């Protein structure tokens, strides 16, 4: 196990049509991993990620299993190619489930069904068109929180993703999010961009989903993580299974504390981070969260080869 190595797993928004296409063409392990998830879900997940349609892939109950499975395919490839075992894992929102599979807490089959259910419940909690999310750029966290408080007017709107210094995502009822966007601009935000999502994640509107999701979480046979896992809700290493499950449920309606999670990894000596999933969203965020850390991706043949060579 490498004390300075940590794996970080991305969340929703990292999906794209034909993700992992090149690796899938070269590495049977990728297709095997997708086949395993497909059998659990009852449809061909690889075909959906490669051929679309994009509208279906971007549906939250399809997006979540797709990103999870792509991430675990890369994790298995890394291991099969002789990559080092990280000292820590962490995942951004949905990515926390990928981290739990990598850490040996639950099987891919169980996780795929679990995140599909999570997506369904999230969508049911807030009908499409009633919620919203927006990215606020260039404003202090405290100012974003204050703007949300001013804009709420009895509705839900809150800061939900602390992604990097100067990048905070807000979520809530559509009208309240629109008021908060204006309030953030008034406080000096450089940009305030509505996000193309169907569900306002990580805000109080998701509490009913968490209540219903508890049954699915409890029904699974969990194991204690074999790799230290930093959770979103606490931004701390969690080893106790009861706390881990409780925080997974709370994660649905509590903020993702990504800045603090990366700072926790850095404080524990993890300076080499591998983004294990489609896209490169986390690499961009991580470098602004803590000094002295580097993040590399492994989602193409060249990137995987380079990351494996760099550890030699």
Q: Would you call 221 exposed, middle or buried from its count of C-beta atoms within 10 A (0-12, 13-18, 19+)? A: exposed
Q: What's the gap between Cα 195 and its chain centre?
A: 16
Taking only Cα atoms into account, the Rg of the chain, rounded to an integer number of angstroms, comes to: 19
Rounded CA-CA distance 295/304 in Å is 13
Distance CA 215, CA 228 (A): 25
Catalytic-role residue among 202, 216, 234, 261: 202
16 is catalytic: no
Catalytic site residue from 14, 38, 71, 93:
93
Q: Is residue 202 annotated as a catalytic residue, yes or no?
A: yes
For residue 129, what are the contacts with CB-CB under 8 A and spacing of at least 6? 174
Q: Are the C-beta atoms of residues 233 and 254 closer than 8 Å to each other? A: yes
Closest of 213, 282, 292 to residue 246, by C-alpha: 213
CB 269 within 8 A of CB 59: no
Q: Which residues are tagged catalytic?
A: 93, 202
């Amino acid at each position: 196990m490498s004390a300075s190595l940590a794996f970080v797993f991305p969340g929703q928004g990292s999906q794209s049509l034909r993700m992992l296409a090149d690796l899938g063409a070269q590495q049977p392990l990728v297709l095997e991993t997708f086949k395993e998830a497909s059998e659990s879900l009852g449809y061909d997940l690889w075909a959906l990620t490669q051929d679309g349609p994009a509208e279906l892939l971007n549906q939250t109950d399809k997006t979540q299993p797709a990103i999870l499975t792509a991430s675990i395919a890369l994790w298995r490839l890394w291991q099969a190619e002789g990559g080092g075992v990280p000292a820590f894992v962490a995942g951004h929102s949905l990515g926390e489930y990928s981290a739990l599979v990598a850490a040996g807490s639950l099987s891919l089959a169980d996780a795929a069904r679990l995140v599909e259910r999570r997506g369904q419940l999230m969508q049911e909690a807030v009908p499409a068109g009633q919620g919203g999310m927006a990215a606020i750029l260039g404003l202090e966290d405290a100012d974003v929180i204050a703007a949300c408080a001013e804009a709420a007017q009895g509705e839900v709107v809150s800061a939900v993703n602390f992604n990097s210094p100067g990048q905070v995502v807000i979520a809530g009822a559509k009208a309240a999010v629109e008021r908060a966007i204006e309030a953030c601009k008034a406080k000096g935000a450089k940009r305030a961009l509505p996000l193309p999502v169907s569900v306002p994640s990580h805000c109080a509107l998701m509490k009913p989903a968490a209540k219903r999701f508890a049954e699915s979480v409890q029904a699974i046979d969990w194991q204690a993580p074999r790799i230290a896992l930093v959770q979103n809700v606490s931004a701390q290493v969690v080893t106790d299974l009861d706390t881990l499950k409780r925080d997974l449920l709370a994660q649905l309606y509590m903020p993702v504390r990504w800045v603090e999670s990366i700072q926790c990894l850095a404080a524990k000596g993890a300076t080499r981070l591998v983004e294990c999933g489609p896209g490169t969203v986390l690499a961009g965020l991580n470098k602004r969260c803590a000094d002295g850390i580097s993040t590399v991706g492994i989602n193409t043949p060249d990137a995987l080869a380079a990351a494996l060579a760099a550890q030699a």
